[in-house]
A and B are shown apart, each in its own frame.
Chain A
Amino acid sequence: MSTQPDRSDLRNLQDKTAIVGVGTTEFGAIYRDLDPERSAYELGLIAFREALNDAGLRRTEVDGVIVSRLPHYGRMCEMIGLRHPRFVNVLPGEGRQSGIALQYAALAVANGMADVVACIYGNNGRSAGARYGGENRGISTQAMFEAPYGMTSPGAVTSMMFRRHQYRYGTTTEPLGHLAISNRANAALNPNAVMQRPITMDDYHGARYIAEPLCLFDYCLINDGGVCFIVTSAERARDLKHTPVLIHATSQASDITPVYVADDFWHEPMSQIADDLFAISEAQREDLAFAQLYDNFTPTMLFTLEGMGFCERGEGGDWITPERIGLHGELPLNTGGGHTSESYMQGWALHVEAVRQLRQTCGERQVDDAQYGLYACAAPLATGHILKRDDQ
């Protein structure tokens, strides 16, 4: 007897809400200007201001705030002058939370708990000297059972998973190189990207290892920045400045283990999300104009493509070709340059890129026929959305 819950109620959120404003800081300029005094709140503020202007909303129309990576909602609300918001939350600074922030905003708006929710992210990690590895303080599993062996960092666990994938399926690092090169080529067409110099397969194979088999170009950048997106009802969105980008279908699944890794490369949660999204949406895989895939490290994209059924299990390595994933290919990936080349905004900037592509305002890097686009993040908490350009 199945104990699976009925997931068809996910339809209740379909096309009810929309992203109406997006804002990002200047990733490249800030990268070149290291400032140890730069605060994450300041970066969040800049992004919020831009998103508000982008939406054509007044500050006082915002009645919901979700912050992430910012230590406390209070300081952020204080800085943007929101004394009486009626829906407020704070999410930890993990990349998997960006898609969840959008889900909470959509849930709040669709259920009447807020009219306009600003989701705000600020990251001063580079200026603050974040290393994303080497932590062994306090009483944690990491400190007690990993650090004594020198085990640390999200990249190292992803590398563990990729090595296993190589063993199981004969995958080489070549497809990871294609992903890194493609991200960089897209970033070269994105004036706001941190890394704009194109790279070649020779560059990829010549790069130093971090946690072998993964090398420098498999890794996300470490850079400062802020991102904001603003969500309101689809109805209200139609009276605002831009073509609304509807939250058309969204789903969450998980695989929470003590060692972070998933022995199926997150196939189960990602296939669950794909089943949900493609059951809700009239759009199917071939209708997606692009996919923004969470790329803390390049193998995460490969795992996502397999889990979501763009190719068979274990065949991601063969599926990933420059022709297929390029801006005018079958499924353009990470069109703004992703975490390895545009900015490491933990999924937040991938959402903004999705919105800008669906508004069809991406200039040189604009993909064709942008009606539907995918965001997906494979992680212990996995999320996926299909976003839709609203042409009504």
Chain B
Amino acid sequence: MTAQTDAPSAAQSYEKPLPPVIGLTKPFWDGCREGVLQIQFCNICDLPWFPPAEACPRCLQDDWEWRPISGQGTVWSWIRMWQKYFPGWAPDEYPYTVALIKLEEGPYMYSTLVDIDDQDVSCDLPVAVDFRQVNDEITLPVFRPARNQH
């Protein structure tokens, strides 16, 4: 117990950018904390969309709900970031990988890849969501190679 309370908390030591949470996006982060990736779906036309918005971009109605999605997708593309734009990445973390994931349901999502070496990454690689807790409020969705690749 003593060791735990004396150690800096994850929140204190985490210096990478944290997402501001607002009413519209809170269900997304609540889901991630529970290990569920969910996005908005229109109850009228069933269109899914991301990032969150106040109305269905097709119906323009606010009759929508958060629905869990499969968490499956593919790597549309990816980069290795060498430039030090943000604080929080240790020198030995450069270059770090950023991927643009095409979700099975259609929308795109920027994220990062885990459990894979850069030399094994390629576009169209099937991936599945995983989660990395950052602090009490934020758990980030990340993606790893899909286990059952067809």
Contact = CB atoms under 8 A, between A and B. Distances in A.
A associates with B: yes
B78 interface: yes
A156 B77 CA distance: 11
B110 A259 contact: yes
Nearest to B101: A259
A144 B124 CA distance: 25
Given A148-B140, A209-B95, A136 B80 contact: no
Contact of A150 (B22, B25, B77, B85): B85
Interface stretch (A172-180, A185-193, A210-218): A210-218
Task: Give the 7 A-B CB pairs with smallest separation, nearest first.
Answer: A134-B85, A147-B17, A167-B123, A212-B80, A164-B77, A133-B85, A160-B77
Given A141-B51, A145-B51, A209-B95, A163 B83 contact: no
A145 B25 CA distance: 10
Contacts of B83: 133, 153, 210-211
A73 B80 CA distance: 40
Contacts of A163: 77-79, 123
- The CB with the most chain A CB atoms within 10 A, among B81, B108, B111, B138, is that of B81
B8 interface: no
Given A150-B89, A156-B98, A167-B123, A144 B20 contact: yes
A141 to B, nearest CB: 5
A153 B85 contact: yes
Given A150-B89, A212-B79, A164 B110 contact: no
Nearest to B76: A164
Contacts of A259: 100, 108, 110
B19 A156 contact: no
B76 A263 contact: yes
Contacts of A161: 77
Given A149-B98, A258-B108, A259-B100, A131 B85 contact: yes
A160 B78 contact: yes
18 contacts: A139-B20, A141-B51, A145-B109, A148-B18, A149-B98, A149-B110, A150-B16, A150-B81, A152-B86, A153-B83, A160-B100, A163-B78, A167-B77, A167-B122, A167-B123, A211-B79, A212-B80, A258-B108
Interface residues of B, number: 36
Nearest to B84: A134
Interface string A128-148: 000101101011010111111
Contact of B25 (A144, A159, A212, A263): A144
A148 B17 contact: yes
A205 interface: no
Contacts of B19: 143-145, 147-148
Max chain A Cβ within 10 angstroms of own Cβ: one of B76, B79, B98, B138: B79
Main secondary structure of the interface of A (DSSP, over half): mixed
Nearest to A160: B77
Interface in A232-271: 257-259, 261, 263
A208 interface: yes
A163 B123 CA distance: 8
B123 A164 contact: yes
A167 to B, nearest CB: 4
Interface in B30-55: 50-51
B52 to A, nearest CB: 8
Given A151-B98, A212-B95, 9 more contacts: A133-B83, A134-B85, A150-B85, A160-B77, A161-B77, A164-B123, A209-B95, A210-B82, A211-B82
Given A143-B20, A145-B51, A167-B123, A150 B80 contact: no
A293 B124 CA distance: 30
A138 B17 CA distance: 12
Nearest to A211: B79
A139 B22 contact: yes
A148 to B, nearest CB: 5
Nearest to B19: A144
B86 A134 contact: yes
A242 B77 CA distance: 48
A211 B80 contact: yes
Interface in B92-147: 95-96, 98, 100, 107-112, 122-124, 134, 138, 140
A359 B112 CA distance: 50
Interface in A58-115: none
Given A145-B109, A261-B100, A150 B51 contact: no
Interface string A298-335: 00000000000000000000000000000000000000
Contacts of B138: 148
Nearest to B21: A144
B110 A136 contact: no
Interface centre among B17, B51, B96 (most CB of A within 10 A): B17
A267 to B, nearest CB: 16
